Amino acid sequence: MGVYPPNDCQEIIRSAFDNVAAHIFNLSALQMAVDEFVTECISIDSVVRDLESRMDEVEITLRTDMRILINEIQHLRKRKSSR
| C-alpha pair distances (Å), 59 with each of 15, 29, 33, 36, 62 | 25, 12, 15, 20, 6
Domain ranges of the chain: 6-81
Write the single-letter amino acid at 71: N
Summarize pLDDT for 26-67 with one digit per residue, the tens.
999 999 989 988 888 888 999 999 999 999 989 999 999 999
Summarize pLDDT for 5-14 with one digit per residue, the tens.
557 889 999 9
- Specify the pTM: 0.87
Region at 50 (left for phi over 0; alpha for psi -120 to 50; beta for the rest): alpha
